[in-house]
Amino acid sequence: MNLQNIKRSYDVIVSLGSACNPAMKLREHNLRRFSGPIDWSVSHSLSDVNRLLKNKFDGFMELNNMRLIDGSNHVLNDGIFTQPIKSHYIQDMYYNIISVHDFPVIQNQDWTATYPSYKKKLNYRIDRFMDKITTSQSVLFIRWSASYEQTTELISVLSEITQGEFNILILNPVEGIQNVIEVDWELDNVCSVNVPNLPFDDSTWDYVLNGIKLTS
């Protein structure tokens, strides 16, 4: 599937990571109607996300599987928040997914103090996400960084949990290239492109997302 084929209208467009950049760029292009459960997280491997989807988020971010990562308390000011906020990096050890925006650093307070409100918000996002992708007639999934093998696995997982048509857009960052280069993986519902290794580069996202729309 080439890039031109994927440029159409979809009922739902969602990010599958690997970090915040797809969700942010979808929002900037008015292609995002709600926050997904992993929009503001880091998922280094699509295989972990595939497992998460296959399990329908069962056990995701349960307190007994979470740990504070060394080197947390970073200042985050990447466009999500209007002011710099220090947040703990908290890793789900079972799914290998890291929350980077959900646990603000509060003086004299452990990171777990805000867990109940976070988990309530997360469960709401999971329920909404699953409802949208399972009931919509057309869904576009966007992922930054994935291999061919991981993507074929994703197709298998999505085929089991979606009822409508779905397409997958993979952006793979490559050092040294200056433009978007299409890669033919010969997968019917997958468009794969190599892109400059600049996760928030406007020119890349403008080029890739131009022509992609949400149905009214």
- Tracing tokens 């988990």 back to the chain, one arrives at 119
State whether the Cα torsion 18-19-25-27 is positive or negative. Answer: positive
What is the per-residue pLDDT for 73? 55
Spatial contact of 171 and 145, defined as CB atoms under 8 Å apart? yes
Mean pLDDT, to the nearest integer, of 210-215?
Answer: 98
**pLDDT tens string 80-111:** 443 457 889 999 999 999 999 899 989 899 99
Complete DSSP assignment for the chain: --HHHH-SEESEEEE--SSSHHHHHHHHTT---S--TTTTEEES-HHHHHHHHHTTTTTTT-GGGEEEPTT--EEE-SSSSSS-EEEEEEEETTTTEEEEEEEE--TT--GGGGHHHHHHHHHHHHHHHHHHHHH-SEEEEEEES--HHHHHHHHHHHHHH-SSEEEEEEEEEETT--S-EEE----TTEEEEEEES-TT-HHHHHHHHTT-EE--
Spatial separation of the C-alpha atoms in residues 129 and 12, rounded to whole Å: 10
What is the per-residue pLDDT for 77? 42
Spatial contact of 1 and 27, defined as CB atoms under 8 Å apart? no
What is the per-residue pLDDT for 78? 43
Nearest to 50 by CA among 155, 133, 135: 155
Q: How far is CA 64 from CA 57, 77, 89, 106, 152, in A?
A: 15, 29, 16, 21, 31
Among the residue ranges 49-58, 65-74, 170-179, the one predicted with the least confidence is 65-74
**Token output for 164:** 């409508």
Res. 33: pLDDT tops 80: yes
**pLDDT tens string 40-51:** 999 999 999 999
Mean pLDDT, to the nearest integer, of 164-185?
Answer: 97
β partners of residue 86: 75
pTM of the model: 0.93
